[in-house]
Chain A
Amino acid sequence: MKSPWVKKLFLLLILVLLVIFPAASPSPYLVHIMTLIFIWAYISTAWAYMGRFGLVSLGHGAFLGIGAYVTALLFNYFNLSPWIGMLIGASSAAFLAAVLGYACFRFGVIGDYFALVTLAVGELVALSIIALRDTTGGSLGFTIRNLGNAPLYFQFSNKVYFYYLSFLFLVFALYLWVRIDKSKMQKALRAIGEDEIAASSVGINIIKYKMTITIISAFLTGIGGVLYAQYITYLNPHTLSGVEVSLAIPFKAILGGMFDMWGPTIGTAMIVSLEEYIRVSYGTKFIGISEVAYGIALIVLIIFLPKGLYGTLKEMKIFKNERRRQYGCNKRKEVILRGR
């Protein structure tokens, strides 16, 4: 491992670069891409809060959609500022997570079965949004009322504000990751992820800890939905909810490596850049191909690189330095794949 101060210096350098980036950037387009990376990195980090403990949700689109739609509808219909609305939106997402989580955890739905239940919930939310087309605009989506420059209403004429805002949110999500890592909740969840019966036999309240992390993850994801919707100023059930997004979020986290705090961010940076590159170079020729690619890549990753690209690289390094840790570490994939 690098010595701590080298690491800190390196982080500080990146931080400074990212802060001055918009001023130094040659084009607003790059700032836009970076903003997208921040938003999705924030969301997939929030997803990995659960994912890394074996709570693989394939329905985070539900939380994303609820957060975004509740907030935007409150603004469009009742003129409620999204700054306040986002708390209501994210709380609604957290409430759904609490109901879903309690139902699953009470009856011991874990592993693959949990993933399936969440997958259904994500789709259910997307379908509900479409069904309520009189208010939500259905499949056509709807546009957030434009107020021009209205910081009090989460609208900025200059997109740079969104850059800094989403950057802050990402930093917060990473900070929370560290806080969770230092808490006793992390120890409890790790034990639960390995073996629930063993965890409860040492006195861990399984339902409590799983509920807590699920609610935190859903709340943050709900806020992520608001961030995205406010930035794009257009809401669509397919881009915010449903299977497509619900799979895209874990994919980013798993690609980078969900067991490491930087994994989801690195995975997101890779995916968003690649998507943009394909979109710009090949236009609409390959529309829809990304979902096929997601599916295939996800299968390959889970089988061969369960720790993701960054996680695997990092581990190889640890291996070199610390021979002792070689005992079966690579078999981490069982945490994701283990059912009952």
Chain B
Amino acid sequence: MLRVEKINVSYGEFQVLHEVSIEVKSGETAIVVGPNGAGKTTLLRVISGLLKPTSGAIYFDGHRIDDKEPHEIVELGIALVPEGGRLFPYLTVYDNLKIGSFAKRARGGFRRTLEEIFELFPILKERRNQLAGSLSGGERQMLAIARSLMSQPKLIMLDEPSLGLAPRVVSRVFEFIGKIRSQGYSILMVEQNARKALELADHAYLLESGKLEFHGGREDFLRNPYIKKAYLGI
């Protein structure tokens, strides 16, 4: 479904990603694990069109997307939940969701999608008239995920969904991601909390200093001695 082929990405002179290739199959959850500054966020930004790679190619559903604009990529069915959620704090929960269905592909089905979302996240229905900026950290992350679902994507990309959340809240957020996963969405998630994220993963990648160091199924990943030591603390 999503195929990233040997992309190189630079910020000016500084190269952030070196020959990175990943693949997310339909209905699968892939995670990218790695330390701070490894280029994880950059990878998601390139896929969503916010940054352009200097070389390499990205394909989604048979379309080449690495030269497309962000809004065109959303139209094709990729949604990004940016780092920290990036809600519209001065809009209500409802308006945040409404704007989530701005894409042409989603506008018609707004009502139906909204009902599904409210079923999935009842707390958002309760808080629909509240300003997004007044939500708690966990609710905000939930709303960010819900907003991305409003664009009726096929692939959801999550950037550090556990960032800045209390451990108990992190567990709840991952529970929600699990729910979404079971709805059949494909997921590409970038996380530092490797242990939690791996519980959901079908496939995992290890990114260090902009290079892919390892990739494989969940079991291979959990068995790798280096990963065990450096990322899982076993």
Q: Which A residues lie at the B interface, using CB under 8 A?
A: 184, 187-188, 190-191, 194-195, 197-206, 324-325, 327-329, 331-332, 335
Contact = CB atoms under 8 A, between A and B. Distances in A.
Nearest to A328: B133
A67 B147 CA distance: 43
Given A184-B102, A191-B99, A327-B130, A201 B87 contact: no
A195 B50 CA distance: 14
Which 9 pairs, one residue from A and one from B, show the smallest C-beta to C-beta distance? A203-B74, A203-B103, A198-B86, A327-B134, A200-B70, A327-B131, A205-B71, A194-B88, A201-B80
Interface string B66-108: 0001110011000111100011111100010011101100100
A191 B70 CA distance: 15
B151 A202 contact: yes
A194 B69 CA distance: 20
Contacts of A328: 89-90, 131, 133-134
19 contacts: A188-B102, A194-B88, A195-B86, A197-B50, A197-B86, A198-B88, A200-B71, A201-B50, A201-B74, A201-B79, A201-B81, A202-B99, A203-B74, A203-B103, A203-B151, A204-B99, A204-B102, A328-B90, A328-B134
B148 interface: yes
Contacts of A202: 74, 79, 99-100, 102-103, 147-148, 150-151
Interface string B106-150: 100000000000000000000001110110000000000001101
Nearest to A207: B69
Given A187-B102, A191-B91, 16 more contacts: A187-B98, A194-B88, A194-B90, A195-B87, A195-B88, A197-B86, A201-B80, A202-B148, A203-B102, A203-B106, A204-B71, A204-B102, A206-B70, A206-B71, A324-B129, A328-B134
A200 B82 CA distance: 10
B145 to A, nearest CB: 12
Contacts of B151: 202-203
Contact of A205 (B48, B69, B80, B130): B69
Contacts of B150: 202
Interface of B: 48-50, 69-71, 74-75, 79-82, 86-91, 95, 98-100, 102-103, 106, 129-131, 133-134, 147-148, 150-151
A236 B12 CA distance: 45
Contacts of B129: 324
Contacts of B74: 201-203
A332 B79 contact: no
A99 to B, nearest CB: 20
B191 to A, nearest CB: 18
B91 A194 contact: yes
A187 B91 CA distance: 10
Contacts of A205: 69, 71
Contact of B87 (A198, A204, A325): A198
In this complex, the member of A191, A203, A205 whose beta carbon has the largest number of chain B beta carbons within 10 angstroms is: A203
B86 A201 contact: yes
A225 B88 CA distance: 36
A184 B91 CA distance: 15
A190 B91 CA distance: 9
Contacts of A188: 99, 102
A204 B151 CA distance: 11
A199 B106 CA distance: 15
A327 B88 contact: no
Of B71, B91, B147, most buried by chain A (CB within 10 Å of CB) is: B71
A9 to B, nearest CB: 30
A201 B153 CA distance: 12
Contacts of B133: 327-328
Count chain A CB atoms within 10 A of each CB in B74, B90, B106, B147 and give the residue with the most. Answer: B90
Nearest to A204: B102
A184 B87 CA distance: 19
Contacts of B91: 190-191, 194
A187 B99 contact: yes
B159 to A, nearest CB: 10
Contacts of B50: 197, 200-201
Contacts of A191: 88, 91, 99, 102
B204 to A, nearest CB: 24
B152 to A, nearest CB: 10
Contacts of B106: 203
A319 to B, nearest CB: 14
Given A202-B102, A327-B130, A332 B148 contact: no
Contacts of A204: 71, 99, 102
A205 B69 CA distance: 8
Contacts of B69: 205
A201 B75 contact: no
Contacts of B87: 195, 198
B84 to A, nearest CB: 10
Nearest to A201: B80
